Structure 1
Amino acid sequence: MKPFVNTPVAALRAELSRRGLDGFVVPRADSHLGEYIPPSADRLRWLTGFTGSAGLAVVLADRAAFFTDGRYQLQAAAEIDQSLFTLRHSVEAPVEDWLREVLRAGMRLGYDPWLHGEEGVAKLAAAAESAGAVLVPVEDNLIDRVWTDRPAPPASPVVLHPVRFAGEEAAAKRERIGAAIGKAGAAAAVLASPESIAWLLNIRASDLPYTPVALAHALVHADGRVALFLAPDRVGAEVRAALGEAVTVEPVERLRPALADLGAAKARVLVDPRTVPAWFAATLRAAGATVVAADDPVALPKAVKNETEQEGARAAHRRDGAALARFLAWFERAAEGGGLTERAAGEALLRFRASGEHFVGESFPAITGSGPNGAIIHYRATAATDRRISPGELFLIDSGGQYRDGTTDVTRTVLVGPSPPDRNEIADRFTRVLKGHIAIATARFPKGVAGPHLDAFARRALWDVGLDYDHGTGHGVGSFLSVHEGPVSLSRAARPVPLAPGMILSNEPGFYAPGRFGIRLENLVLVREEAIEGAARPFLGFETLTLVPFDRSLILPALLADSERAWIDAYHARVQREIAPLVEPEVGDWLARACAPLGRA
């Protein structure tokens, strides 16, 4: 076996031996269990080198494995030393299966209860038990003991999110959520999601690079009182006054005593087993409280945008559409000679966005994949991977903006310069992805339908010729919050949460040919009520928010039904109508060409 000398894996194994453990589970997570984490919590990256947003590793004394989903298989293979880690698909070959194979009777597998929800812990524990091993909680994370240059945790100031953007006073939200907690027969609920806390209290911060939140925990009581746990010096006088006397700001050290108080009162406390660290439920039970497994009570109300948030989203997308029009017009010229790089393209788009009103920053690191890099679903150009965008290849750009009145996320795939020899194949795949996009955009469905029920609509044109893509079709999007927001998504792997008017989701089917090219076409859509004459029950549909042309040179009109051609022409006419008045004449000229009717050729 290759010796593990002077590596993070070797350091972790030494700590395992010192602690009397046989293995340790390392998720990409912090104590809020969200998708985005600060550098100080990116233990998985320190251990493995993986830079994606979803993954988990298990290190034993004699072997280690890394797990991630279909979005990151190519990226993981490129970033992780496979002499140290066996790479596995987390959906097709989950960690629980691997643990059943490799654990032996009497082994002790450690985990940090701050980094796993109870639902995840239960799966790990069952897998360990089936092998005769035991899962051991370790509050003092092993990696923190050996990660010598770990960054300091973030501590940005908390600021107010004005009602003119939020659309509802925080006091009204607290009363509404408190009433829901009481109706569930509980005295309080634990909130670990920074996005839920930000929405509930109408506050924002910059603890994360792309999501404007403060990393905090909270207890929400049935009477609407809230205890917010974070360093009190982060909350200034103006914010404290706006929060009011019903909201207390307490140091993190007060969290355990606050849970003990609930235990002493024999309180029933709502804890989401997926989004709240298992530490909370264990601490509450030990103190004498009754833990009630329930969804985060803020998640669904937050996902249903009010009228102010909906109007803000429309306004943000108009400004974003103008920025994308300027970028795409510029890109068409700049990429012609082959001198433009992926990173330079992403930086240019950021500059175009930055001039927009209410712009704060990107909603995630832009994905700028040219040629074969476009097939890496969540590719990120670095100094080491940055390549020149060559004529005759596809360029995929997936990006978004954080505006104070809305969050955007859009993907376009364009052909650079002259057509390549395999243009017919590429255009076929592009058009099939577009057909799937249109199928979602035009779907009408009865109330009660959930995202997993719609996911197949986007895949049919690909399935017809034996093709598919290895990611969901859409995710929820916040309002000046996370670009990936639960609890709804358009994915066959998602929980069936019914769609409701006011929710914003992405519509992003794709196709990827490893080593050659990638295609993804993404707009954001708003769920709305649909009037259907003679309908036996209420129906819903989607309003498209994103206003950016598709690359007409890659569309095969002969593959489209008349209704699909009509949708594209109507969409492009709308883009030109709404965006042309916002851009310069030369960009308007480009937009007129990009939005011209398809024809039937």
Structure 2
Amino acid sequence: MTNNYHERLVALRTRLATLNLTGFVVPLTDEHMSEYVGDYAQRLAWLTGFKGSAGSAVVLRDTAVMFTDGRYTLQVREQVDAADWQFVQVPATSMTDWLRGAVQAGDRIGYDPWLATVDWVASAREALADAGAELAAIDTNPIDALWRDRAAPSPAPMGVQDDALTGRTSAEKRAAIGEWLTERRADAVILSALDSIAWTFNVRGTDVAHTPVALSYAIVHADGTADLFAAPGKVGDDVVRHLGNAVTVRPMTAFKDALGQFAGKRVAADPDRAVAAIHETLRLGGATIVAERDPTVLAKAIKNPVEIAGHAAAQARDGAAMVRFLKWFEETAPSGTLTELSASDRLEAMRAETRCLRDLSFDTISATGAHAASPHYKATVESDAAILPGQLYLIDSGGQYADGTTDITRVMPVGAVSDEMRDRFTRVLKGHIAIDTAIFPDGTLGGHIDGFARRPLWEAGLDYAHGTGHGIGSYLSVHEGPQRIGAPNYPGGGPMEPLRAGMMLSNEPGYYKAGEYGIRIENLLLVVERDIPGGDLPMLGFETLTFVPIERTLIVPALLTPTERAWVDAYHARVADLLTPLLDLETAAWVAAKCAPLQVE
């Protein structure tokens, strides 16, 4: 592996020695606990070469370790030099558990308090203390001193998200937050998650690739007024007029000082979203911290009728672009002239032809053959593979539109594929149908239904190492909590959230055979109320939001039950009805053929 990552690791160790540190923790996040971060915050990638969207590292004097979950088992080994780094999979082994066994008495392990949660700090401090070691907060991240060409935070201006697309004004949202604070006898709440700020103030930005947020902090007070902190020039006159007199715009540099001005007051701060440095600054300033979840999290997750209607419009537009792409792919791929990057570029161009695309919703996963066995593979110039006959091609992609965020995965064969591939595809489809048709009591946790998707694979001794579904934002983050479909023993596990009507989630079971192929079928769903005649309980179910054909040549109809075959036929009938008016005659005919009823072989 030819690069200068080894030299960067050596330089960091030298720097740590000058700071009297024996180790340092490097997470993949920013000061806002974001999943996707701006270029300026890509410290883990700079140090290791890892390009995934979830991971962390620990550097000790003689050992360096990468921590990733099952989605990145293959990718981390391809991108990070095993001569310098060990690989540990979470959640089987947590970083804190690993540290407990790896440090020695007297060690000082540094961390950046602007990149860590209070709970992580408490857990790590306890683990290190068990071994006689110390966790030390560092004022300036040592990587920043070494990263000479580090990008500056984006200076791009905020934009206004029209109230006609949000369904609620910023004033209404801030008033609701004020009521939440009053109920808790709190004076103010700190908003540090970028999507929470964007949602609360009905603003958007371009500071993070594929996530329309703007770098900022906010403090909302019990009377509904607020302070919004952003870099000079980021908040233009249009945004100021939109926010009104109840919101005071202040420089980003004033945020830390503002945290110290709450002596004797009660201030709410989310332990999972407001970093340790925020909590510590509040404490030192004399505030009483109310450790509660950011009040926008659940409100943002439960979509209102305007947001639901906007999402439906975005899905139809996106679905039409997807079928144009799939038709083109089916006709072109057998020639052997396509590559992963050329295919994903074509899909992006087709989405752009809608003239409504603001951005992709994440880096497209365009993966053929063995690359698709890595669930979060990202094609690069170096890895770009030719798409060849006999392979399965997986495309996981989405668009950011002003009225909605989309995310869809489809798998296409390139010529004839194996019976095993078709068997596995059909088992994944059976799991997908089981989630789509699930009916469950109001208050059910996402983890309670996760096994529905896995059962057809489990019956064949198979599984997949990721969650089955994640929440999604309304022209916001493609991965939005708190809802998800997943169990604690799979990546993304942890505390579960009750599913509620109005939440949107993905439905994406999969199967991955290392070195050969990968399969995933993903649609988005809306949680809706279900009226069960004669039932005793309020029940919920799902309404399908994504309408694009599921490749029929990969389905083994005999493996489906009559009810499952009926689901496929009904789904495809809805696809044809929705998309045909949006397509040219040739593409509409292609969709009609793809959506014809299944025939048992």
SS in 2 for 1:361: strand
SS in 2 for 1:438: helix
CA–CA distance in 2 between the matches of 1:182 and 1:22?
46
SS in 2 for 1:502: coil
Equivalent position amino acid for 2:30 in 1:
D
CA–CA distance in 2 between the matches of 1:489 and 1:597?
32
CA–CA distance in 2 between the matches of 1:494 and 1:349?
35
CA–CA distance in 1 between the matches of 2:514 and 2:5?
34
Alignment of 1:115-194 (within 5 A): 115-194=115-194
Q: Structure 1 stretch 524-533 or stretch 253-262: which is displaced more?
A: 253-262
Give the corresponding residue for 1:356: 354
CA–CA distance in 2 between the matches of 1:5 and 1:446?
51
Equivalent position amino acid for 1:410 in 2:
I
Structure 1 segments unaligned to the other structure (5+ residues): none
CA drift at 1:357: 4.7
Equivalent position amino acid for 2:456 in 1:
A
Contact 1:232 1:249 in 2 (8 A): no
CA drift at 1:285: 0.7
SS in 2 for 1:336: helix
Alignment of 1:231-270 (within 5 A): 231-262=231-262, 264=263, 266-270=264-268
TM-score between both structures, scaled by the size of structure 1: 0.97
- After superposition, give the CA deviation of every residue in 1:462-506 in whole Å (9 maximum; x if it has no partner): 011111000000000000000000111111024221111111110
CA–CA distance in 1 between the matches of 2:194 and 2:454?
34
Cα pair distance change 1:166/1:392, threshold 3 Å: same
Contact 2:6 2:84 in 1 (8 A): no
Quick check: 1:230 aligned with 2:223? no
Quick check: 1:434 aligned with 2:429? yes
SS in 1 for 2:13: helix
Give the corresponding residue for 2:571: 571
Contact 1:395 1:415 in 2 (8 A): yes
Structure 2 segments unaligned to the other structure (5+ residues): 488-492
CA drift at 1:6: 6.4
Give the corresponding residue for 2:217: 217
SS in 2 for 1:100: helix
Quick check: 1:406 aligned with 2:404? yes
Give the corresponding residue for 1:523: 523
Give the corresponding residue for 1:50: 50
CA–CA distance in 1 between the matches of 2:234 and 2:108?
40
| 2:484 counterpart (482, 489, 492) | 489
CA–CA distance in 1 between the matches of 2:547 and 2:504?
15
Give the corresponding residue for 1:207: 207
Give the corresponding residue for 2:102: 102
Moved over 3 A (4+): none
Equivalent position amino acid for 2:329 in 1:
F
Give the corresponding residue for 2:466: 471
SS in 1 for 2:372: helix
Give the corresponding residue for 1:330: 328
| 1:461 counterpart (432, 451, 456) | 456
Equivalent position amino acid for 2:402 in 1:
R
Give the corresponding residue for 1:318: 316
Contact 2:113 2:137 in 1 (8 A): yes
TM-score between both structures, scaled by the size of structure 2: 0.97
Contact 2:155 2:233 in 1 (8 A): no
Equivalent position amino acid for 2:452 in 1:
F
Alignment of 1:407-422 (within 5 A): 407-417=405-415, 419-420=416-417
Give the corresponding residue for 1:292: 290
CA–CA distance in 2 between the matches of 1:455 and 1:221?
39
Contact 1:507 1:523 in 2 (8 A): yes
CA–CA distance in 1 between the matches of 2:232 and 2:299?
27
CA drift at 1:185: 2.2
CA drift at 1:209: 1.3
CA–CA distance in 2 between the matches of 1:5 and 1:41?
17
CA–CA distance in 1 between the matches of 2:435 and 2:243?
40
CA–CA distance in 2 between the matches of 1:213 and 1:97?
34
Give the corresponding residue for 2:490: none
Same amino acid, percent of matched pairs: 50
Give the corresponding residue for 1:553: 553
| 1:392 counterpart (390, 393, 398) | 390
Q: Structure 1 stretch 502-511 or stretch 115-124: which is displaced more?
A: 115-124
CA–CA distance in 2 between the matches of 1:360 and 1:518?
29
CA–CA distance in 1 between the matches of 2:555 and 2:246?
57
RMSD: 1.1
CA drift at 1:257: 2.1
Contact 1:452 1:495 in 2 (8 A): no
- After superposition, give the CA deviation of every residue in 1:540-586 in whole Å (9 maximum; x if it has no partner): 11111001101101111111111111000000000001101101111
Equivalent position amino acid for 1:525 in 2:
L
CA drift at 1:290: 0.9
CA drift at 1:5: 9.4
Give the corresponding residue for 1:198: 198
Cα pair distance change 1:590/1:5, threshold 3 Å: closer
Give the corresponding residue for 1:592: 592
Contact 1:66 1:88 in 2 (8 A): yes
SS in 1 for 2:334: coil
- After superposition, give the CA deviation of every residue in 1:3-41 in whole Å (9 maximum; x if it has no partner): x99611111111101100110000001101110101110
Contact 1:160 1:239 in 2 (8 A): yes
Contact 2:160 2:239 in 1 (8 A): yes
Equivalent position amino acid for 1:20 in 2:
N
Contact 1:452 1:494 in 2 (8 A): no
Q: Structure 1 stretch 350-359 or stretch 531-540: which is displaced more?
A: 350-359
| 1:373 counterpart (355, 371, 374) | 371
